[in-house]
């Protein structure tokens, strides 16, 4: 008989209980990214103070792997009594969802936090959070645990007339398990913030390593472009990075542009200092500005060669650009703010940036000619590539099917949203995967050995590499300047490698190729890492699957605590050792598998890591190994 469903079954979560019950709704997840998101919420509040003219400095201290503090010299969180709730505003802000001073523009002209949930979410998900507010000759202090005050706000004497907010907190280990703060992740995020806000000074102290960093960039995003070019060894076309700053309808716009000899288009978008890595309307405004300004310049001076067509991709090829906007009421997609949705921003950016850049071209004809010639070369290369592709298609197509690589075992569905491509290491594993897959929606592409390291290879060598070109052919979306997302045949691209060092290396080589030549597939959340088990633990008649040694021990501790049951442990040397049924159950079946989504948290950090670990310079890898050596517990040789 079905259980009766009545009013007593309806649960009402009060205060900050919803946050603790469903943290993923507020910080995106309880993984390392969500863990660090707590820190970004507090730092972003400090930045909001400073970009609105209240303060100049932020001080971040990593006291231990799980305990951190953030201090600014802003106005300090209000401490007077809230007129409606009759408790200090400090307590209201930290214990109430949707409570803050950013819902209108009276206190903050520009702000990244608009929902009034940032500080309260951090408080809810911290086992310990302490606040100290400086208001002239007095400190106001209060302590919290798991979102609840441990006592009332109290006062203490202070020296001087300065103001500011100090918050220290420890994320709750019952929610985040064995996670901890990563010093390098924090350092690079804080560095980027100083690029985005000219003159802002951020000091970061890492008590664990004893290192201290002091960042300030008076040239702002223009310095950022220079750093990116140096890290990725890209040669600039313009003699100096083009920089624009303007304001319209209450929106402040900053843009920096440089053309390089690379085929990659790299655009980083920020709104009120928030990294909107999925782009949005400010991205559209910049793209439209470039296209219209350059097309108009070419038309006015009658420069277009006969028979040549220039499209948007030709103009963008090789561009490294940053667009940063500040607006009063940004509409972000999600609490993690990955995309800006304000429809009016595209036109505001275009109306400001397009005429300014067009005027720059007219006033700097030598620079403009070099730039236009570079665009014409790109257009000619694209036309030649298209002609070659059409010629191959004309010669090879005998029916309506796509010209796909012969070793691809394709799926029968033609709906990309339903289809998955598994890139598999070797023919042996490919055979097991083909037999264990769902033929309707899962395609298998086996690779032979380790693919080309495209970070060290020339563009020509990448084009000549059969394994990589077979992959591009299977995907159907092109790459580099010929990339077109509409041609993508699979909306899940899964790297399925052995759970050993060789498998990790092959996955890294493939991720390097995706990041350099197909970055939008990563940014649009189409790329995943499969996590096949390393162990099968059979206890009596039941089988369990462990990804690593730690999980194997946990399974034994949970299901055989007394050690009295019969245990049989199998370690898989490779995917080829798994029979199709096991591979299907553990790695291919949507109901049982564990996929890891690949994402780029920030381009500066990711680009630097890829260049250091996969590039030609040995010194960077050597230094990385020396710095990280003490963190290695198991070395697979």
At 315, give phi and psi (nearest 5°): -70, -35
- Tokens representing residue 538 in the block: 């059979």
Q: 57 Cβ partners below 8 Å, 6+ apart?
A: 50, 72, 73, 200, 201, 202, 203
Contact 159, 139 (CB under 8 A): no
The span from the CA of 335 to the CA of 333, in Å, is 7
- In degrees and rounded to multiples of 5, residue 256 shows phi and psi of -135, 135
Whole-angstrom distance, CA of residue 202 vs CA of residue 216: 7
Instruction: Give the C-alpha separation, 187 to 185, whole Å.
Output: 6
Annotated catalytic residue: which of 350, 425, 455, 608?
Answer: 425
Q: Report the distance separating Cα 583 and Cα 575, nearest Å.
A: 8
Going by the DSSP 8-state scheme, the letter that residue 540 receives in this structure is T
DSSP structure string for 90-112: HHHHHHSTT-SS-SSSSS-SS-S
The residues, any chain, with a CB within 8 Å of residue 588's CB and separated by 6 or more, are 422, 433, 436, 437, 438, 442
Residues 308, 575: Cα–Cα separation, whole Å: 50
* Catalytic residue selected from 143, 418, 502, 601: 502
Answer for the pair 75, 49: CB distance below 8 angstroms, yes or no: yes
Q: Are 602 and 275 in contact (CB under 8 A)?
A: yes
Give strand pairing partners of 374: none
Q: If you search the block for the tokens 């706000």, which residue do you land on? A: 153
Give 330's contacts (C-beta < 8 A, 6+ positions apart): 112, 114, 271, 272, 274, 340, 342
The active-site residue out of 80, 500, 549, 550 is: 500
Residue 340 DSSP symbol: B
Q: Is 296 helix (H, G, I), strand (E, B) or coil?
A: helix
Distances (CA, A) of 381 to 102, 302, 462, 481: 50, 21, 16, 10
502 is catalytic: yes
CA distances from 317 to 290, 312, 465, 483, 586 (A): 12, 9, 22, 11, 42
Phi/psi class of residue 76: alpha, beta or left (left: φ > 0; alpha: ψ in -120 to 50)? Answer: left
Classify 259 as helix, strand or coil. strand
Candidates 180, 65, 191, 60; CA nearest to 607 is 191
Contact call for residues 451 and 513 (beta carbons, < 8 A): yes
Please provide the DSSP assignment of 196-228 as one string.
HSTT-EEEEEETTTTEEEEE--TTTHHHHHHHH
Our answer to whether residue 427 is catalytic in this structure is no
Q: Is residue 500 annotated as part of the catalytic site, yes or no? A: yes
In sequence order, what are the beta bridge partners of 443?
Answer: 421
Q: Is 104 a catalytic residue?
A: no
Catalytic residues: 425, 498, 500, 502
């Amino acid at each position: 008989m079905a259980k009766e469903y009545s009013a007593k079954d309806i649960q009402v979560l009060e205060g900050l209980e919803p946050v603790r019950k469903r943290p993923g709704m507020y910080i995106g997840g309880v993984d390392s990214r969500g863990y660090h998101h707590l820190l970004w919420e507090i730092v972003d509040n400090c930045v909001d103070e400073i970009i609105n003219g209240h303060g100049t400095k932020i001080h971040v201290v990593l006291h231990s792997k799980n305990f951190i503090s953030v201090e600014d010299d802003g106005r300090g969180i209000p401490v007077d009594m809230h007129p409606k709730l009759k408790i200090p505003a400090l307590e209201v802000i930290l214990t109430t969802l949707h409570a803050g001073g950013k819902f209108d523009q009276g206190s903050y002209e520009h702000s990244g936090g608009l929902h009034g949930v940032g500080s309260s979410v951090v408080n809810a998900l911290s086992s310990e959070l302490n606040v100290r507010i400086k208001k002239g000759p007095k400190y106001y202090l209060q302590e919290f645990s798991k979102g609840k005050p441990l006592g009332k706000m109290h006062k203490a004497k202070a020296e001087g007339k300065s103001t500011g907010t100090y918050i220290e907190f420890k994320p709750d280990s019952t929610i985040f398990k064995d996670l901890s703060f990563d010093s390098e992740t924090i350092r690079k995020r804080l560095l980027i913030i100083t690029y985005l806000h000219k003159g802002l000074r951020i000091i970061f102290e890492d008590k664990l390593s004893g290192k201290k960093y002091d960042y300030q960039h008076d040239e702002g995003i223009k310095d950022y472009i220079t750093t990116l070019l140096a890290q990725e060894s890209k040669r600039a076309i313009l003699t100096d990075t083009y920089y624009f700053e303007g304001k319209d309808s209450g929106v402040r716009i900053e843009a920096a542009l440089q053309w390089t000899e690379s085929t990659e288009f790299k655009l980083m978008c920020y709104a009120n200092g928030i990294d909107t890595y999925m782009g949005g309307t400010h991205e559209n405004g910049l793209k439209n500005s470039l296209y219209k300004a350059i097309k108009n310049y070419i038309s006015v001076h009658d420069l277009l060669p006969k028979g040549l067509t220039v499209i948007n991709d030709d103009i963008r090829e090789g561009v490294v650009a940053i667009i940063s906007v500040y607006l009063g009421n940004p509409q972000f997609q999600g609490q993690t703010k990955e995309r800006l949705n304000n429809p009016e921003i595209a036109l505001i950016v275009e109306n400001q940036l397009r005429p300014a850049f067009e005027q720059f071209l007219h006033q700097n004809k030598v620079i403009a000619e070099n730039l236009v010639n570079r665009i014409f070369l790109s257009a000619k290369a694209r036309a030649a590539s298209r002609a070659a592709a059409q010629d191959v298609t004309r010669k090879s197509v005998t029916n309506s099917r796509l010209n796909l690589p012969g070793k691809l075992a394709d799926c029968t569905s033609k709906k990309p949203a339903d289809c998955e491509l598994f890139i598999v290491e070797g023919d042996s594993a490919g055979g097991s995967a083909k037999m264990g897959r769902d033929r309707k929606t899962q395609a298998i592409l086996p690779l032979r050995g380790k693919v080309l390291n495209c970070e060290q290879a020339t563009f020509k060598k990448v084009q000549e590499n059969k394994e990589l070109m077979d992959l591009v052919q299977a995907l159907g979306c092109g790459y580099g300047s010929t990339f077109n997302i509409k041609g993508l045949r699979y909306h899940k691209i899964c790297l399925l490698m052995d759970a050993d060092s060789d498998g990790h290396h092959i996955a890294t080589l493939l991720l390097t190729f995706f990041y350099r030549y197909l970055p939008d597939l990563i940014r649009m959340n189409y790329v995943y890492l499969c996590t096949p088990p390393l162990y099968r633990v059979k206890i009596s008649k039941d089988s369990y699957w462990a990804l690593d040694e730690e999980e194997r021990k946990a399974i034994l501790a949970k299901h055989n605590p007394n050690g009295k049951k019969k245990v049989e442990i199998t370690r898989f040397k490779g995917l080829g050792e798994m029979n199709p049924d096991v591979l299907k159950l553990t790695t291919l079946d949507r109901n049982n598998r564990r996929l890891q989504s690949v994402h780029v948290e920030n381009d500066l950090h990711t680009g630097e890591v890829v260049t250091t670990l996969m590039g030609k310079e040995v010194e960077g890898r050597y230094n990385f190994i020396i710095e990280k050596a003490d963190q290695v517990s198991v070395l697979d040789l």
